[in-house]
């Protein structure tokens, strides 16, 4: 059962998702700060297990929330995906300008800032692959290719996002008709891909090739390995609209609170298992090593999606840490912060003598330098690059003064205000 036609013009926002996304980006930055300060040196200690467990796979949050936000319009429109041109312009404006700017920043700093040891300028082919967003898949062919030009390796995520954006229009209508089957298929794809990655080196050797020592790691985090995470968000969008059409506030809140009783211990358990696996690997690849376990990957993503959903639909007192102005601002800056923070870390490590002795002093020193600069860059990216680009995309898609579908069709208040308005409409008030 979906919303009636007169209810399909607007769908409520979930403000808590902004907070979840904001905290997730802080988790990514924190993990890399711990690594820079000398923690996570594949020792398997309790602190390392805790750090990896809490922060090591928060990147998963972005794929889950992206699946939810991108598929939600299709659900509200009853399975109609809408204009491909509009979608393409919106997604390109959201992803590419800030990404290309981060590439330019890295190239300028490599060329102009003297470091020890010196950084080599990348070749034309490397720059072209990065501009096209396919540098990480290209590592399967050229293991020597340095993602992010050697100073910004978190850019591996861009190829996954581009792939998901390209796949979504092809599957949206069919997925809407069979969301649970789609989720099962996505789980099978993720399990099969990551199981295959574990055996890729042996297969390549048997065929007479000389595999890269990191072939399994590079394969693990390619697009199919994240299919289940994205599908969790898509299925959550379908379920969200369906529940809104059938249930009232009290019922939804009570079930969300009960779900947290399951989600929190499940998340803690799988986070511990993830941390235990990741903490024995080098810090640069710890997360990918843990994600190479197929069943652990699926279980971690499922528990995380359940926890996110429970928070987003929970009573106001539970949502309060997530649904506030500070978390919303952080979420707005999250993409720019993600794109630039590793550049700041890499150049700080070459220009400033900071300790790496896994001490609190070292962590505070790195944080004091990296976090303010990265936050400032993230805000500048949002204010002067991302927001203008999205406004331009809206005007191209809708004409002068146009804005994105989601902004046009989401209520400014909470989803509880939406349900109150829906009841009023149904009663004829």
pLDDT tens-digit profile of 332-349?
999 999 999 999 999 999
Phi/psi of residue 427, each to 5°? Answer: -90, -5
pLDDT given for residue 121 in this prediction: 93
The predicted-structure confidence for 211-226, as pLDDT tens digits, reads as follows: 777 888 899 999 999 9
Is 74 in contact with 176 (CB distance < 8 Å)? yes
pLDDT given for residue 282 in this prediction: 84
Report the distance separating Cα 15 and Cα 416, nearest Å: 11
Element (H, E) at 399: none
pLDDT given for residue 115 in this prediction: 81
In the block, tokens 């947290």 appear at 260
Is 40 in contact with 283 (CB distance < 8 Å)? yes
Which tops the pLDDT comparison, 108 or 143?
A: 108
Element (H, E) at 11: strand 11-12
- pLDDT over 90 at 247, yes or no: no
- pLDDT over 90 at 429, yes or no: no
Question: Would you list the DSSP string of 291-302?
Answer: HTSHHHHHHHHH
Say what the pTM is: 0.89
Report the distance separating Cα 40 and Cα 304, nearest Å: 23
Question: At 366, is the pLDDT very low, low, confident or very high (cuts 50, 70, 90)?
Answer: very high
Report the distance separating Cα 360 and Cα 34, nearest Å: 10
In the block, tokens 């790691």 appear at 217
pLDDT given for residue 346 in this prediction: 94
Question: At 20, is the pLDDT very low, low, confident or very high (cuts 50, 70, 90)?
Answer: very high
Query: Which two structure tokens, joined as six digits, stand for 64?
Result: 């889950």
CA 132, chain centre distance (Å): 19
Average pLDDT over residues 174-203: 94
C-alpha atoms less than 13 angstroms from C-alpha of 247 in its C-beta half-sphere: 15
Is 296 in contact with 278 (CB distance < 8 Å)? no
C-alpha gyration radius of the chain: 22
Reduce the DSSP state of residue 393 to 3 states and report it.
helix
Question: At 45, is the pLDDT very low, low, confident or very high (cuts 50, 70, 90)?
Answer: confident
Q: Where are the beta strands (DSSP E) in 161-252?
A: none
Sign of CA dihedral 339, 340, 345, 346: positive
- Provide, rounded to the nearest whole percent, the portion of the chain with pLDDT above 70: 88
List own/partner pairs for 253-258 with CB under 8 A and 24 or more apart.
Answer: 253/313, 253/314, 253/315, 255/313, 256/309, 256/310, 256/311, 256/312, 256/313, 256/314, 256/315, 257/310, 257/314, 257/315, 257/318
Phi/psi of residue 410, each to 5°? Answer: -120, 145
The predicted-structure confidence for 371-421, as pLDDT tens digits, reads as follows: 999 999 999 999 999 999 999 887 765 443 333 444 444 444 444 454 455
Nearest Cα neighbor of 296 from 108, 116, 53, 111 is 53
Report the distance separating Cα 404 and Cα 83, nearest Å: 12
Phi/psi of residue 411, each to 5°? Answer: -75, 150
Cα dihedral angle (18, 24, 30, 32), rounded to 10 degrees?
-130
């Amino acid at each position: 059962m979906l919303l009636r036609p007169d209810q399909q013009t607007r769908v409520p926002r979930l403000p808590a998702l902004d907070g979840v996304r904001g905290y997730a980006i802080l988790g990514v930055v924190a993990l890399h700060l711990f690594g820079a300060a000398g923690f996570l040196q594949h020792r398997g200690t309790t602190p390392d297990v805790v750090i990896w467990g809490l922060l090591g796979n928060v990147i998963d949050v972005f794929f889950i929330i992206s699946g939810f936000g991108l598929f939600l319009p299709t659900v509200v429109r009853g399975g109609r995906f809408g204009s491909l041109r509009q979608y393409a312009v919106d997604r390109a404006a959201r992803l590419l300008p800030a990404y290309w700017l981060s590439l330019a920043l890295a190239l300028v700093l490599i060329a102009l800032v003297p470091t020890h040891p010196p950084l080599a300028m990348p070749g034309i082919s490397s720059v072209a692959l990065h501009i096209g967003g396919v540098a990480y898949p290209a590592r399967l062919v050229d293991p020597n290719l340095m993602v992010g030009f050697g100073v910004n390796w978190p850019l591996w995520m861009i190829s996954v996002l581009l792939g998901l954006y390209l796949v979504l229009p092809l599957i949206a209508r069919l997925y809407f008709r069979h969301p649970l089957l789609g989720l099962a298929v996505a789980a099978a794809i993720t399990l099969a891909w990551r199981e295959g990655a574990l055996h890729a080196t042996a297969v390549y050797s048997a065929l007479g090739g000389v595999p890269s020592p990191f072939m399994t790691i590079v394969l693990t985090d390619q697009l199919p390995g994240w299919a289940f995470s994205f599908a969790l968000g898509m299925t959550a969008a379908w379920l969200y609209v369906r529940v809104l059409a059938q249930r009232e506030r009290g019922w939804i809140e009570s079930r969300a609170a009960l779900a947290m009783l399951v989600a929190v211990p499940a998340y803690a358990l799988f986070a511990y298992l993830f941390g235990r696996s990741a903490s024995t690997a080098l810090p640069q690849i710890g997360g990918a090593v843990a994600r190479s376990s197929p069943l652990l990957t699926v279980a971690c993503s499922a528990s995380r999606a359940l926890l996110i959903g429970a928070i987003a639909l929970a009573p106001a007192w539970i949502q309060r840490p997530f649904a506030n102005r500070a978390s919303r601002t952080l979420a707005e800056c999250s993409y720019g912060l993600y794109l630039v923070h590793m550049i700041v870390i890499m150049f700080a490590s070459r220009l400033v003598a900071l300790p790496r002795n896994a001490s609190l002093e070292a962590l505070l020193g790195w944080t004091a330098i990296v976090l303010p600069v990265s936050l400032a860059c993230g805000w500048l990216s949002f204010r002067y690059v991302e927001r203008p680009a999205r406004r331009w995309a809206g005007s191209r898609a809708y004409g002068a003064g146009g804005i994105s579908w989601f902004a046009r069709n989401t209520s400014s208040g909470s989803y509880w205000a939406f349900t109150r308005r829906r009841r009023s409409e149904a009663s004829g008030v």
